[in-house]
């Protein structure tokens, strides 16, 4: 529903605008820390491409910031953020709707009397119309955003200690030492291998579940797919901040 999407976006902007400045500063601290981590452990690039990137950066950054300028976040301008948010209002908004069917390309109470035009090069049909009154009449000073929306809580997955943990067995060439069996239960086993080849603070977790009932029938296979999708949706609120870190 187009109107629902627009409403959520406006509610989210209002939620951010009404948040305490300390909440903005907390988010800035996290973003700054994540940016520093990504820069410190940035993967090696092709020398020619990297040289071209640095040459382009010379147009936007002073010499001392050529390497770090596009990556690090050093400060936050709360007044500038507030000024920007004050302009992200319905009166300054354009909505572009792309749909396979023309019947879904119009907002609910938007006038639909305007005729369609044909795009010059690709032949796509389109039309323009004023924003509906339900959107343009929204007043942030009198309306309240959705109470279910809020700024994200602190990300507890951001690493604090990045020292490399070395063990004797990890000094061997990669692939010569098998993973260590850390848990051996009747129904599952857990293996672990501490990889230090790339010296980056990354973790890869692989979970493989075997159940022959999945392949006994088409119904079993589809039920398993649905279970995986539901499990993914259930853990995503926890996994998303972990993926950011």
Residue 35: the pLDDT is: 93
Cα separation, 90 vs 224, whole angstroms:
44
Buried b (16+ CB within 10 A) or exposed e, 129-155: eebbeebeebebeeeebeeeeeeeeeb
Banded pLDDT at 175 (limits 50, 70, 90): low
Residues near 126 by Cβ (< 8 Å), separated by ≥ 6? 116, 117, 118, 119
Give the residue carrying structure tokens 């809580």: 153
Span 84-103, pLDDT tens digits: 999 998 888 888 888 777 66
Angle, vertex CA 131, rays to CA 129 and CA 132, nearest 5: 110
Taking residues 58-69, report their average pLDDT.
92
Whole-prediction pTM value?
0.70
Residue 213: the pLDDT is: 83
Taking residues 179-200, report their average pLDDT.
82
At 192, give phi and psi (nearest 5°): -140, 135
Taking residues 108-119, report their average pLDDT.
67
Q: Bridge-partner residues for 191, per DSSP?
A: 181
Tokens coding 60: 């936007």
Angle, vertex CA 194, rays to CA 192 and CA 196, nearest 5: 160
């Amino acid at each position: 529903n187009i109107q629902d999407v627009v409403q959520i976006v406006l509610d989210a902007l209002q939620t951010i605008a009404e948040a305490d400045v300390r909440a903005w500063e907390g988010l800035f601290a996290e973003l700054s820390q994540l940016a520093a981590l990504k820069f410190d452990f940035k993967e090696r690039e092709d020398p020619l491409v990297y040289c071209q990137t640095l040459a382009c950066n010379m147009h936007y950054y002073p010499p001392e910031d050529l390497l770090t300028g596009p990556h690090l976040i050093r400060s936050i301008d709360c007044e500038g953020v507030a000024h920007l948010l004050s302009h992200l209002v319905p009166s300054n908004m354009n909505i572009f709707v792309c749909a396979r069917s023309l019947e879904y390309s119009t907002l609910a109470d938007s006038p639909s009397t305007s005729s369609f035009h044909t795009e010059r090069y690709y032949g796509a049909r389109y039309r323009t119309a004023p924003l509906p009154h339900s959107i343009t009449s929204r007043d942030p000073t009198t309306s309240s955003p959705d109470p279910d929306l809020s700024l994200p809580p602190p990300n507890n997955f951001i690493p604090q200690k990045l020292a490399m943990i070395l063990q004797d067995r990890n000094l061997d060439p990669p692939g010569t030492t098998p993973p260590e069996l850390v848990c051996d239960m009747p129904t599952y086993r857990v293996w672990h291998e501490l990889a230090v080849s790339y010296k980056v603070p990354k973790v890869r977790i692989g979970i493989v579940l075997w159940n022959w009932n999945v392949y006994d029938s088409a119904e079993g296979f589809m039920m398993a797919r649905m279970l995986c999708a539901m499990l993914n949706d259930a853990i995503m609120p926890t996994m998303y901040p972990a993926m950011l870190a």
